[in-house]
Amino acid sequence: MISSLSFSQNPYDLWLQYDNIEEQHILETYKNQVSNIYLSLNSATGTVIKEEIQKAFKGLLGIEPKFDSKTPNIIISTLDKLDPSLQKKLPEISKMNDEAYVIQYISDSKDAQIIISAITEKGLLYGVFNFIKQMQLRNDLSKLSISDSPKIQKRLLNHWDNLDRSVERGYAGFSIWDWYLLPELIKQEYIDYARANASIGINGTVLTNVNSNALVLSPRYIQKLKALADVFRPYGIQVYLTARFSAPIETGDLETADPLNAEVKQWWKNKADEIYAAIPDFGGFLVKANSEGQPGPNNYGRSHVDGANMLAEAVAPHNGIIMWRAFVYSEEKPEDRAKQAYSEFKPFDGKFKDNVLVQVKNGAIDFQPREPFHPLFGAMPNTPLMMEFQITQEYLGGMSHLVFLPQLFEEVLEEDTYTQGKGSTVAKIIDGQLSNKKLTGMAGVANIGTAKNWTGHPFGQANWYGFGRLAWDPETSAKTIAQDWLKMTFTNDSDFVDPMTRLLLESREAVVNYMTPLGLHHIMAANHHQGPGPWVKDMPRPDWTSVYYHKAAADGIGFDRTSSGSNALEQYAPEIQKKYSDPATTPDKYLLWFHHLPWDYKMKSGKTLWYEIAAHYQKGVEQVEGMQKTWQKMQKYVNPQVFEKTNMLLNIQLKEAKQWRNACLLYFQQFSKMDFPDFIPEMTKDLNYYKSLKLPYAPGISPSWN
Amino acid sequence: MISSLSFSQNPYDLWLQYDNIEEQHILETYKNQVSNIYLSLNSATGTVIKEEIQKAFKGLLGIEPKFDSKTPNIIISTLDKLDPSLQKKLPEISKMNDEAYVIQYISDSKDAQIIISAITEKGLLYGVFNFIKQMQLRNDLSKLSISDSPKIQKRLLNHWDNLDRSVERGYAGFSIWDWYLLPELIKQEYIDYARANASIGINGTVLTNVNSNALVLSPRYIQKLKALADVFRPYGIQVYLTARFSAPIETGDLETADPLNAEVKQWWKNKADEIYAAIPDFGGFLVKANSEGQPGPNNYGRSHVDGANMLAEAVAPHNGIIMWRAFVYSEEKPEDRAKQAYSEFKPFDGKFKDNVLVQVKNGAIDFQPREPFHPLFGAMPNTPLMMEFQITQEYLGGMSHLVFLPQLFEEVLEEDTYTQGKGSTVAKIIDGQLSNKKLTGMAGVANIGTAKNWTGHPFGQANWYGFGRLAWDPETSAKTIAQDWLKMTFTNDSDFVDPMTRLLLESREAVVNYMTPLGLHHIMAANHHQGPGPWVKDMPRPDWTSVYYHKAAADGIGFDRTSSGSNALEQYAPEIQKKYSDPATTPDKYLLWFHHLPWDYKMKSGKTLWYEIAAHYQKGVEQVEGMQKTWQKMQKYVNPQVFEKTNMLLNIQLKEAKQWRNACLLYFQQFSKMDFPDFIPEMTKDLNYYKSLKLPYAPGISPSWN
């Protein structure tokens, strides 16, 4: 009953918790090391840096930092304004990119100094956030010698936010963009959003849903957008919009949106000019075209290349980019949906303009708990591919399941595509290493909303944080991310950090186990996607059903994607084809993604497939129980409200994990006709019970779907 | 850029700000007076009381209160457990109602004591909140001798919240009821909502929209409702629902909802039994029937009495009540909409069952900036009438206008109906004084949402607070409410409180002036109701247009409701009829409500009507400018974020006040053909500009209206 605001560890502050350092010796050491600051900047970004330092020092150290230049022990300066004698003492920075920074402790003078420097002010901001993080992590400042730069250029959140403030697949309340009161009302949340993103290196945000609305391109909304851009600019964050391909028609200006039509081209050029006049650093457009009912160039017999390049020309004079989504699958095509994006886009390799990124989801279906990497990665060497991850948990339990997604992201990024020989990981394709790409990017579909802690689930914050870290460096380990986030958000106590790191890293396998083990996929309930729905079959399209994907029948279960089936496997490199074409050499985790196997198929474990399916579902449930046990021991480290809320959410997760297990096993048993192994608890409800569960007004879907 | 959470005056904590008392002598005195507490309760309410005291003492006094019974200087006990010798020293309480309490400082013993006592634990809770308030107000505790009880029994918030979390006419984000995650997830907001309401004596809440959804009556939702009821119970708050009259049909159980049908009666009895089995103190139902498209008894040729009494019978065995709204106006009737509720309901006087309240809006149209009191008040002496005020600012600027509504509420409550002679005020009808009603009530349509400060506009909190105070005692003055709220929320410094009290008390007249002066009404934009729309005419019903109400034409402006017109005036007492039938004796504020007058009509001021209309619009704008000037001086007293946010909102208010002035004057000038007085600034935009303004996705309306 005590207000949520009277605790330290305030959930609103995310990982930027600056609670007073309790370890007295560290506190005293830090206070001696960082009392006096020289800050060379007088710009808006300089103000941001100064205020962040004030906040951090006041919180962590309990001091008001002095910004006088006489005897500074911290020097924060862009490289060009730094004394040449100091420059020499820094790690090499000149060859690094514009967003790079260095942090160097220099002890050879009588008075030791910490230098934070960068080529640009934005780099300096990143450096300062990292420096503060060093104190949050209780690291030894006298050992600081950091030279860092982002490996990916465009590090973007994608907000699937509608203008009515509903959020498609949003589970954290509603859109934080209060368009109605913009541009006049600048909410504090906008500032704190920018601050949080800058702290993890995110440098762009697409504010609107990919299922887009042309209204946002109108003059009135451009003024609103400008207000947000002005807030975000000092934090190094650019704004982007989704472009509705049919906007020229919907605004009433034209009768066609044909990308080869001269008037259409001019319309977009004019629109781009209009936006850039208000927002000189506008980032560009994200486009979902000819996908799931969205308009696009195909409506006029034109290709994705025609559409993307037309828009690319419009924004090119302003250094804007186009992110063109590859998430397409045709209503007419009978081809395995997993194959369609590759089939459609691979022939376009090398044909897009320089300022076009093709944005590809991590897997070929749709953000499932586990999918093999998308076959387009590595298949378009002459086209910059942008990774699209989903931070919001559309298929992973909405807001009520604790799932640490950096583990999922890491798994994808580490996968070897073999497209340029062994070691051609997805990460190296995305960050441009393998083909020296000029343009690189990673997008994360945001899990942010009006919830007082931003993400609804307290642990949703870790996924936002982790996405930022991986967009900065896609080879960062999930374990490092988990540890840093836990320390920054809660405490550095290893009795908390160590078991909770294990919990986080296991949480993603848990959700795979209790939802879609062994390569199963897309067997969730229809529309809202919450809870099991292996029985889903009557939908407007076959590839929106569950039966299309699991193909459970008397003869077995799984989608044959080898040469005897859809041969989606042929879209991968020969090394992978070879390995995955035989169930015996296919990793268990992808088994039923690529193979249709009999229920009594003998697994590597020696058990039957049916037994292993049951064992995985059971293990998932037990893993959630294990998470509960671990969490119970963490009470003393955590804000009591967060502790209780997480308890309640874990209870929901366990309840739903059991629903998944029971519903799926009962459903599949109709075909396997085999008994449950002994470790499966007795079912007290029948299949019809699970089928009858309805979730009206489930969050994250359009009101009209209810 | 500093997080909103690092300040005192945390907006989330509303008027329950317990910042440390800075006046050192008061602090020391209080600490001596309240260090040791005796608390007799071990119930859930006792825990609530204890925790509130801990929070308040820790905040205000910086101490952990001691709860030991040895040498208490505060005794908190129900009367029955209080030492008889102490009982004798208290003000008379036994004749007071169950929610009464006393606070008495007793100084005749060596160790002075403060006694807080009540008949019930709920009364005790109210007493404790008042005691804490005394410290917030810096009152002398040694002078405490308070004997207080609510004058109205049912003090309810009405939430127009939909199950999809949209809020009809909600301007503070979305519904705080996260139905989807109930009953498992109990959000901290639910607890703090109950706490805030209990602190001002609100004892019930209708959780769902009057435009209702039968789904909330389903077993699954009853479990969710139960979870909220369990949270609210220790705070003395009952839950209520809106009942959709056609629910027996919509659930699929029956083919009719005819209130005289035996199966229908049984259905509602069963439904009531089902709800009460889960929630023994469920409050009852609020019903909007046969109004604006809602189903009701008229669909079956039955009356409102038939409908209300049928439901009343269902809940009567459980001590439940029915609140039946009188907000009806027929699609077919050509009668002046202002007359219809009276025409329909007056004949029903005395025919409702004992547990029915007829809920009447304060005015006969619909929550306008100003309306004369509803003629039903005083017209149904044998029926308990419940007041319905609107706290959310549907017609008063949404979330962006600072309007202190207790001034509006006070004006209505003070109006003399003359129905039982002079002094028959609306307040005395509502609180039952005039007819010794057994059942009394006041409802306020809530302005609460997911906004981090609950109400969006920082000053919206004052309207929630003020409603509670007036529901407790409808004769409380708006000035007292303003002062208390300012002190509790911000500071006791008179340099802040005095000018801000004046600002609050003037703010309501300002909005009347710049929106609907001199008795004008219902001339706002259609559907979303934000901004001017005197030109609105083509709507599904004439009485949804503006032209229906202002009747501006070459011959003048205003709605003739005297005997030469609709004669709505006949619904009032003869004293009022006499006074208002002549424009010369009609108060200016109601002039055009009752009279259609020529543009050059000579006003009491000696000026023409046209001049006075212009003067009032101009004055409204200038009043907003005055509010801005006052606010500028308040910076040092206010949380910087609240200061800046209020600045931004006042800028919006001023912009929109000017839009109202310009749009209405330009529109009416078409008919008056008269020049603007000199004090009206030159118009830079024409009428078509104001007509062209569109507000897509304005908050508070159904998504389907866009």
pLDDT in tens, B194-207: 999 999 999 999 99
Q: What is the pLDDT of residues A495-536, one digit of tens each?
A: 999 999 999 999 999 999 999 999 999 999 999 999 999 999
Contact A181 B641 (CB under 8 A): no
Q: Please give the residue of chain A at the shortest CA–CA distance from B191.
A: A1
Shared-domain flag, residues B142 and B205: no
Contact B166 A703 (CB under 8 A): yes
**Closest CB from B3, B180, B184 relative to A651:** B184
CA distance A218 to chain B (A): 12
Residue B618 is part of a domain; what is its CATH number?
3.90.1330.10
Count of the separate structural domains present in chain B: 3
Contacts of A698 in chain B (CB under 8 A): 180
Ranges of chain A with pLDDT below 70: 1-7, 69, 94, 109-110, 702-706
Mutate to test the interface with B, among A181, A237, A448 (most CBs of B within 10 A): A181
The reply to whether B36 falls in a domain is yes
Contact A179 B52 (CB under 8 A): no
CB atoms within 10 A of CB A80: 10
CA distance B586 to chain A (A): 39
- Using H for helix, E for strand and C for coil, what is the string for A632-671? HCCHHHCCHHHHHHHHHHHHHHHHHHHHHHHHHHHHHHHH
Domain endpoint, select from A133, A148, A163? A148
The edge-to-edge listing of strands for the beta sheet with B145-148 is B37-39, B74-78, B113-118, B101-106, B145-148
Q: What is the dihedral of CA A505, A510, A516, A518, to 10 degrees?
A: 80
Which among A227, A219, A202 is positioned nearest to A279, based on CA atoms? A227
Q: Please give the residue of chain A at the shortest CA–CA distance from B703.
A: A164
Q: Please give the residue of chain A at the shortest CA–CA distance from B48.
A: A1
**Closest CB from A174, A195, A215 relative to B1:** A195
Shared-domain flag, residues B202 and B101: no
pLDDT at B5 over 70: no
Shared-domain flag, residues A684 and A620: yes
Contact A5 B6 (CB under 8 A): no
DSSP for A362-374 reads SSSSSS-SS-PPP
A571 Cβ contact partners less than 8 Å away, ≥ 6 residues apart: A339, A342, A375, A379
The H-or-E segment that residue A47 falls in is helix A44-56
CA distance A1 to chain B (A): 6
C-alpha to C-alpha distance for B150 and B99, rounded to whole angstroms: 7
CA–CA distance from B297 to each of B206, B226, B244, B258 (Å)? 22, 29, 11, 6
**Closest CB from B55, B188, B648 relative to A184:** B648
Contact B696 A192 (CB under 8 A): no
pLDDT at B2 over 80: no
Domain endpoint, select from A148, A178, A202? A148
pLDDT at B1 over 50: no
Mutate to test the interface with A, among B13, B180, B650 (most CBs of A within 10 A): B180
pLDDT at A705: 53
Shared-domain flag, residues B366 and B283: yes
Residue A300 near residue A263 (C-beta atoms within 8 A): no
Instruction: Based on the residue annotation, tell me whether A366 is a catalytic residue of this protein.
Output: yes
pLDDT at B109: 62
The reply to whether A331 falls in a domain is yes
Active site residues of B: 292, 366, 394
Contact B450 A173 (CB under 8 A): yes
**Closest CB from A3, A649, A697 relative to B163:** A697
Contacts of A191 in chain B (CB under 8 A): 1
Residue A112 near residue A105 (C-beta atoms within 8 A): yes
The reply to whether B569 falls in a domain is no
Mutate to test the interface with A, among B4, B50, B199, B393 (most CBs of A within 10 A): B4
Shared-domain flag, residues B111 and B239: no
Shared-domain flag, residues A639 and A661: yes
Bridge-based pairing state of the strands A101-106 and A113-118: antiparallel
Among left, alpha and beta (phi > 0; psi -120 to 50; other), residue A201 is left
The reply to whether B276 falls in a domain is yes
Contacts of B52 in chain A (CB under 8 A): 1
C-alpha to C-alpha distance for A433 and A151, rounded to whole angstroms: 9
Shared-domain flag, residues A604 and A689: yes
B696 Cβ contact partners less than 8 Å away, ≥ 6 residues apart: A163, A215, B706
The reply to whether A495 falls in a domain is no
Catalytic residue of the set A394, A431, A509, A560: A394
Shared-domain flag, residues B181 and B128: no
**Closest CB from B12, B698, B704 relative to A180:** B698
Average pLDDT of the residues in B628-641: 97
Contact B181 A399 (CB under 8 A): yes
Cα–Cα–Cα angle for A512, A585, A589, nearest 5°? 0
C-alpha to C-alpha distance for B487 and B646, rounded to whole angstroms: 17
Contact B188 A4 (CB under 8 A): yes
Q: Residue B417 burial (CB < 10 Å; 0-12/13-18/19+)?
A: buried
pLDDT at B701: 85
Shared-domain flag, residues B354 and B480: yes
Mean pLDDT of chain A: 95
Contact A655 B184 (CB under 8 A): yes
pLDDT at B167: 97
**Closest CB from B5, B180, B652 relative to A13:** B5
Residue A106 near residue A131 (C-beta atoms within 8 A): no
- pLDDT band, very low/low/confident/very high, at B3 (cuts 50, 70, 90): very low
Q: Does residue B339 sit in helix, strand or coil? A: helix
Which among B354, B435, B429 is positioned nearest to B387, based on CA atoms? B429
Catalytic residue of the set A292, A555, A582, A644: A292
C-alpha to C-alpha distance for B348 and B350, rounded to whole angstroms: 6
**Closest CB from B185, B652, B706 relative to A649:** B185
Please tell me what DSSP assigns to residue A291: S
**Could you tell me the residue range of the domain that residue A186 belongs to?**
154-489
Contacts of B176 in chain A (CB under 8 A): none
Backbone angles phi, psi at B443, to 5 degrees: -120, 145
Domain endpoint, select from B148, B168, B198? B148
- pLDDT band, very low/low/confident/very high, at B703 (cuts 50, 70, 90): low
Shared-domain flag, residues B627 and B529: yes
C-alpha to C-alpha distance for B71 and B206, rounded to whole angstroms: 43
Shared-domain flag, residues B161 and B144: no
Contacts of A185 in chain B (CB under 8 A): 400, 645, 648-649, 652
Measure CA B608 to chain center: 36
pLDDT at A108: 74
Residue A592 near residue A478 (C-beta atoms within 8 A): no
pLDDT at B94: 67
DSSP for A119-175 reads SSHHHHHHHHHHHHHHHHTT--GGG-EEEE--S-SEEEEE--B-TTS-BTT--SSS-
Residue A375 is part of a domain; what is its CATH number?
3.20.20.80
Q: What is the pLDDT of residues B65-88, one digit of tens each?
A: 999 767 899 999 999 999 998 998
Q: Please give the residue of chain B at the shortest CA–CA distance from A177.
A: B173
Catalytic residue of the set A366, A411, A431, A560: A366
Please tell me what DSSP assigns to residue A525: P
Return the percentage of chain A with pLDDT > 70, whole number: 98
Contacts of A2 in chain B (CB under 8 A): 51, 55
Contact A400 B181 (CB under 8 A): yes
pLDDT at B71: 84
Average pLDDT of the residues in B287-312: 96
Shared-domain flag, residues A102 and A17: yes
C-alpha to C-alpha distance for B325 and A341, rounded to whole angstroms: 57
Return the percentage of chain B with pLDDT > 70, whole number: 98
Helices A121-136 and A478-489, packing angle to 10 deg: 70
- pLDDT band, very low/low/confident/very high, at B467 (cuts 50, 70, 90): very high
The reply to whether A404 falls in a domain is yes
Handedness of CA A285, A289, A292, A294 (dihedral sign): positive
Contacts of B455 in chain A (CB under 8 A): none
Contact B173 A450 (CB under 8 A): yes
What amino acid is encoded at B568 in this protein? Answer: A
Residue B175 near residue B252 (C-beta atoms within 8 A): no
Q: Please give the residue of chain B at the shortest CA–CA distance from A2.
A: B55
**Closest CB from A3, A166, A652 relative to B184:** A652
What amino acid is encoded at B222 in this protein? Answer: I
Residue A37 is part of a domain; what is its CATH number?
3.30.379.10
Mutate to test the interface with A, among B3, B182, B701 (most CBs of A within 10 A): B3
Q: Please give the residue of chain B at the shortest CA–CA distance from A653.
A: B184
The reply to whether B586 falls in a domain is no
CA distance A700 to chain B (A): 10
CA distance A663 to chain B (A): 19
pLDDT at B706 over 60: no
Residue A33 near residue A1 (C-beta atoms within 8 A): no
Instruction: Based on the residue annotation, tell me whether A484 is a catalytic residue of this protein.
Output: no
What amino acid is encoded at A298 in this protein? Answer: N
Contacts of A704 in chain B (CB under 8 A): 703-704
The reply to whether B504 falls in a domain is no
Average pLDDT of the residues in B370-399: 97
pLDDT at B135 over 80: yes
- Cis peptide bond N-terminal to A183, omega within 30: yes
Tokens for A27, please give them.
């506190």
